[in-house]
Every structure is written in C-alpha cells, then in structure tokens.
Amino acid sequence: MEPKGERPQFGMLRPGMLADIVIVPENPLHNFKVLYGTGTTRLDENGRPVTVGGVRWTIKDGIVYDARALLSDVERIVADAKRVPATSQQP
C-alpha cells in the first residue's frame, strides 16, 4: 500500500477502524480447512482422527459473533423446520 496522505481503508487492525476477522485455534496457512465452521479432521500423534480448528469467533463491523452458538441456532432452526409438514403455496 502506497501512502498518499489518506487514511487507509483496509489492511489494519486499529481502534476506531472497521474490521471483519475470524478467530480460529489453528493456523489456516497450514490447513485452510480449519476455517470451516465445524473444523476438520486430522490424525493425532497416535493415528486417531480428531476434530481440529473451526471458526470460534467472527467479528463483523465491530460486532462479535460466537460461531458455535450460531451453528447451534442453525441446527435448531433446521430441525424445527423438518418437523413442520411442508405446505403447498400455489397462487
């Protein structure tokens, strides 16, 4: 980014600036799959599959979202929708 005497519009995490970020417990540069909402599976030191990663928090325009809580909400909404019989809505 070339300085032009203007305030940068992106690329910085500083107080007072908007930022969209995700917080994950693993390094996504080593495995992009850790950015999946539910994480990904890898083998531990004993060769057993374990779930790793997964977005933990998302920050959008200064609002912090708990990704696991959002996934739980979606699971509940889908389960509720499956329990309700589908109706035909023809004009």
Q: Tell me: the pLDDT tens digits for 66-90?
A: 988 999 999 999 999 999 877 766 5
47 or 52: which leads in pLDDT: 47
What is the domain range of residue 43? 21-80
For residue 46, tell me if it sits in a domain: yes
Q: How many domains does the chain have?
A: 1
pTM score? 0.60
For residue 67, tell me if it sits in a domain: yes
For residue 54, tell me if it sits in a domain: yes
Instruction: Supply the pLDDT for residue 85.
Output: 77
For residue 68, tell me if it sits in a domain: yes
For residue 72, tell me if it sits in a domain: yes
User: What letter represents residue 45's amino acid?
Assistant: E
Residue 87 CB coordination number (10 Å):
6
For residue 87, tell me if it sits in a domain: no
* Range with the poorest average pLDDT among 32-36, 63-67, 87-91: 87-91
5 or 58: which leads in pLDDT: 58
Q: Report the C-alpha gap between 65 and 87 in whole angstroms.
A: 33
For residue 89, tell me if it sits in a domain: no
For residue 1, tell me if it sits in a domain: no
Please determine, for residue 1, whether its predicted confidence score (pLDDT) is greater than 60. no
